[in-house]
Amino acid sequence: MKFAFFGDIHGNIDALKAVYAKATGEGVSKIYHLGDLGGYAPFVNEVVEFLIEHGIEGVQGNYDETVANDREHCGCKYQDPVQEEMANLSFEWTKRHVSHKTKEYLRNLPASISFQTAGKKVLLFHATPHKNNIYWYQDRPEKFFSEMAAKTDADILIYGHTHKPYRKDIGGKVFVNAGSVGKPKEGDPKACLTIVDITQNNVSVQFDRVLYDVEEAARAIKESGLHPYFAEKLRKGG
Ligand SMILES: [Fe+2]
């Protein structure tokens, strides 16, 4: 069975539409999102509408939780003061612009989703099985992967939050970071779509980078009143 995963859409409706079109062309049986639906780009309400309209289920990200509950910030670690200031501006803008319906949707997202296919248990969450604001990068020690796996009985763990996709196999478990649709951080502005094909004997993971009109999305960011910093970040892919 083939599944598609959308991580960290972050208000980028054009990128979402592009990955959705690509996913439906791949013959997937189900599509899930991995949270963080708003922030950095202006279309959080449109993203939520699109997910509802197309029946795409998903989990709650740290951004969703913060916006839905009017919290000051997500408790994330920032690399420098500029990044922190920009993150605060983005939170303020997003909290001012979310509709009541969007807030309700974000508030009611589950922390995790699990399902079974081909005799394997799959668990979806935003960042780690127990906390939605920890950065789980590929170069974390194997011990960290094993500790996270021990918190669940899943065979395949799928998540996002870092905006950097990877697949790792440790101790018989498969770990998949699905990357980011709307705000990639790997120097390539194309949207990341993750396709996972699960059979009795195999788990194959494919990361597709999907082209869309990045200039148009950058223009929309500038016109929205969000800081132009986010438009530049999008153009550069992080
Ligand atoms: Fe994110």
Task: Give, in order, the Cα–Cα distances in Å from 54 to each of 17, 20, 160.
Answer: 11, 9, 21
Q: How far is the CA of 86 from the centre of ligand 1 (A)?
A: 14
Rounded distance between C-alpha atoms, residue 11 and residue 7, angstroms? 12
- The pLDDT tens digits of the residues spanning 128-156 come to 999 999 999 999 999 999 999 999 999 99
Q: How far is the CA of 200 from the centre of ligand 1 (A)?
A: 32
Global pTM reads 0.96
Q: What percent of the chain has pLDDT over 70?
A: 100
What the block records as the tokens of 27 is 């013959």
Q: How far is the CA of 201 from the centre of ligand 1 (A)?
A: 32
Residue 174: partners with Cβ closer than 8 Å, 6 or more residues away? 155, 156, 157, 167, 168, 203, 205
Kindly tell me if the per-residue pLDDT of 184 is higher than 80: yes
What the block records as the tokens of 231 is 């438009």
- The pLDDT tens digits of the residues spanning 57-103 come to 999 999 999 999 988 877 777 888 998 899 999 999 999 999 999 99
The one-letter amino acid code at 160 reads G
Q: How far is the CA of 238 from the centre of ligand 1 (A)?
A: 12
The one-letter amino acid code at 136 reads W
Helix ranges (H only) for the chain are 13-25, 44-53, 62-68, 81-97, 100-107, 142-150, 214-224, 228-236
pLDDT, mean over the chain = 96
Q: How far is the CA of 179 from the centre of ligand 1 (A)?
A: 9
> Strand 156-159 relative to strand 120-125: parallel, antiparallel, unpaired?
parallel
Rounded distance between C-alpha atoms, residue 7 and residue 114, angstroms? 16
Q: How far is the CA of 119 from the centre of ligand 1 (A)?
A: 31
Q: How far is the CA of 35 from the centre of ligand 1 (A)?
A: 8
Task: Give, in order, the Cα–Cα distances in Å from 58 to each of 32, 43, 61, 143, 179.
Answer: 5, 18, 9, 28, 15
pLDDT reported for residue 79:
80
Q: How far is the CA of 180 from the centre of ligand 1 (A)?
A: 7
